[in-house]
Amino acid sequence: MGQELDSDLFVDGAKQRGKALLETSELLFRGDPRWKIPFASILKMSAASGRLTLRTKDHEFVFLLGPKAEVWREKIANPKSLLDKLGVKPGDSVSLLGSFEPSFLADLKLRKAVLVRGKSPASWLFLRADSPSDLSKIKSAAASLSGAAALWIVYPKGQKSVAKSPVAKSPITESAVRSAGLQAGLTDIKVASFSPTHTALKFVIPKSRR
C-alpha cells in the first residue's frame, strides 16, 4: 500500500493518536475516529516544523510527521501516476490476465505500452484476482516469466479471513496472495495501491534463479 507513520493528529485543535497512511489519492488516519482525506478535497496545504497542515471545506488537519512532513506535502501536491508507481515505461510489453477497468487500459495506451496476447513473453504481467479461486492462475503466470519480468497480482483491499457462510463470498487476503506467489517460486518485493478498491502485490523470479 502506501507509506505509513505513527503520528499525532490535531483535527480542529483536538488531538488524537494513531497511524497516518499516505495512499495514491488520499491520506488516511487510523485512530479513533478514523479519517479519510481525498487529495481532491484539500483546499490549502503547508508543511513547516515537522507539521503537515491540510485544510478542507469542513476541517483543519495537522499531522505531526517530523522530517516526513515536507516529503508528504510534495507527494500530495505532485502524486505519481499509477503506471509510474507500477514501473511501466513507454514501449514496455504488458500481458493482462483477467478483466481490468477501461481507465487502466486507457492509461496503458497513453503510455504506449505494447499489449501482448496468449503465451507471448512480456515485461509485465497483471493478474486480476477477485476470489481465492483466481489464485490458482498464479502458478501458470509465474511459469511464463523470464529474467527480470514481473507479475503484479491485483486483488481487493482490506479483506480479512471470516467464518464460512453459505451466502457470504469468500474473501481474498494479502496473506493468501503472498503465499500463492511464494508457492509458485516467486518472491514479493513491492506493494502498491492500484485503485480505491484494489491493491497490487509485485512478484519476481528470485535473482538466484534468473
CATH number of the domain residue 139 falls in: 3.40.50.150
My answer on whether 96 and 192 are in the same domain is yes
Query: Domain boundary at 77, 110, 132, which?
Result: 77
Say which CATH number the domain at 17 has: 2.30.29.30
Q: In this structure, are 101 and 173 located in the same domain? A: yes
Residue (of 56, 53, 51) closest to 39 by Cα position: 56
Q: Has residue 165 got a pLDDT over 50?
A: no
pLDDT over 70 at 164, yes or no: no
Same domain, 12 and 40: yes
Q: Both 37 and 73 in a single domain?
A: yes
User: Grid coordinates in use for 41?
Assistant: 478535497
- List alpha helices for the chain, DSSP H: 68-77, 82-86, 102-110, 138-143, 174-183
Q: Is 45 helix (H, G, I), strand (E, B) or coil?
A: strand
* Total number of residues shown for the chain: 210
Residues 87 and 185 in one domain: yes
Q: What is the pTM of this model?
A: 0.71
Strands of the 114-115 sheet, one edge to the other:
114-115, 93-97, 124-128, 150-156, 198-204, 187-193
Q: Are 32 and 104 contained in the same domain? A: no
Distance CA 28, CA 122 (A): 35
Residue 34 pLDDT: 95
Domain termination residue (choose one: 77, 93, 124):
77
Residues 121 and 183 in one domain: yes
92 and 145 together in one domain? yes
From 27, 50, 77, the end of a domain falls on: 77
Range of the domain at 142: 82-209
Pair 86, 49 in one domain: no
Question: What whole-number distance in Å separates Cα of residue 202 and Cα of residue 51?
Answer: 32
The share of the chain scoring above pLDDT 70, in percent, equals 93
Check whether residue 121 and residue 23 sit in a common domain.
no
Reply yes or no on whether the pLDDT at 161 is more than 90.
Answer: no
Is 64 found in the same domain as 11? yes
Which tens digits make up the pLDDT trace of 66-103? 999 999 999 999 988 899 999 999 999 999 999 999 99
- At 2, is the pLDDT very low, low, confident or very high (cuts 50, 70, 90)? low
Same domain (yes/no): 118, 32: no
Q: What is the pLDDT of residues 93-112, one digit of tens each?
A: 999 999 999 999 999 999 99
Q: How many CA atoms lie within 13 A of 179 on its CB side?
A: 7
What is the number of domains present in the chain?
2
Cell (9 digits) for 100? 481490468
